[in-house]
Amino acid sequence: MQKQKRGFWLFIFSLIPGAGEMYMGFKKQGISIMFLFWGVFAIGACTGMDWLVFLIPIIWFYSFFNVHNLKSLSEEEFYSVDDNYVLHMDQFSGDIGKFLQKHRNTTAWILILFGICILWSRFTSLLYLIVPYDLEDYV
């Protein structure tokens, strides 16, 4: 049950991506924002794709301003807001097989690109171990 809240605790929870939405009763929104935030962080850290870090502040700002936007709504508008997953993730969960079948080539290219990025990261780190990068020692 969502309940319109205001005050100190709402501000504190709005600083954590997804927690403010969950505090206000929007569980699906909060879980999906938290999943996006920490998922992007984990994928970037585990795979060496540091360029994904630019998404983290975008997700954080979206969450922060979404909570304060929900807080500023009138009671009628607030209670008319549906608790949906961000990026409509619930549509994918029911028919993920159909979705992957329909977009098989796109999914394959995304996974291939993802694998190439991981391999390139590992290759460059191995190359730095083999080839000395401090040439001042050899001059």
Whose CA is closest to 83, among 16, 23, 8, 6? Answer: 23
Tell me the pLDDT tens digit for each residue of 38-65.
989 888 888 877 888 889 999 999 999 9
Predicted model pTM: 0.62
State how far the alpha carbon of 58 is from the alpha carbons of 54, 65, 125, in Å: 7, 11, 29
Q: Does 91 score more than 60 pLDDT?
A: no
Which pLDDT band, with edges at 50, 70 and 90, does 97 fall under?
low
State how far the alpha carbon of 39 is from the alpha carbons of 7, 26, 49, 94, 139, in Å: 29, 20, 13, 21, 45
Q: Angle at Cα 128 formed by Cα 139 and Cα 136, nearest 5°?
A: 15
Which pLDDT band, with edges at 50, 70 and 90, does 16 fall under?
very high
State how far the alpha carbon of 110 is from the alpha carbons of 28, 45, 53, 76, 115, in Å: 26, 19, 18, 42, 9
Q: Which two tokens stand for residue 80?
A: 């008319």
